[in-house]
Structure 1
Amino acid sequence: MGALAGLKILDFSTLLPGPFATLMLADMGAEVLKVSSKSKADIVIDYPPFVEGTEISVNQAWLGRNKKTISLNLKDAQSIEIIKKLILEYDIVMEQFRPGVMEKLGLGYETLKAVNPELIYCSLTGYGQTGPLKMKAGHDINYLSRSGNMAQAGRKSTGPVLTNMQIADVAVGSMNSVIGILAAVHYRNNTGKGQQVDVSMYDGLIPFNSMDGAAFLATGKEPGREEERLNGGCIYDFYETKDGKYLSVGCLEPKFWNNFCTCIGRPEYIEGTVWPADIAEVKADIISRIKEKSLKDWMEIFNDKDVCVEPVLNLEEALIKDEHMQARKMVVDVVVPESEGKTVKQLGSPIKLSECPIEYKQGGYPIGYHTYEVIEQLGFTKEQIKEMEKKGVFR
Structure 2
Amino acid sequence: MAAPDIIPIQLGLTAGNGLTLWAPRWVEDGEEWEAFLGHGDDLYVFPTAAHLAAFIRTSTEHDLIDHPEWDTASRLLVDELVPDDDHRFDIVSVPDLVAETPDIWTLAELSDTVSILRSLAEVCDLAPVEEVLDSADGFSVLSVGESAFTGRAGEKLWNGIGAAVVENWDKVVDALDGVVTTPEVDAAALGTAEEEAKATGTVLEESDDLIEELEEGERDPELAFWDEIGIDCVEITVDGRTGTTLRCYLDDQPVFLAVDNRIQIWSNDEDLENYLADATVDHSLASLEVWAEIREAIAGGDAVVVAGPENTYALDGIADGLETGPGGVERKQLSLAVELLTDAAKARKDEESIEALTTATPLASLIGAIVKPSKDRLPPAPPFTAEVDTWKVLVDRFTGSLDWNGRS
Q: Which structure's residues are more often helix, by fraction? A: 2
TM-score interval w.r.t. the shorter chain?
under 0.3
With normalisation by structure 2, the TM-score equals: 0.27
- The alignment's TM-score, normalised by the length of structure 1, stands at 0.27
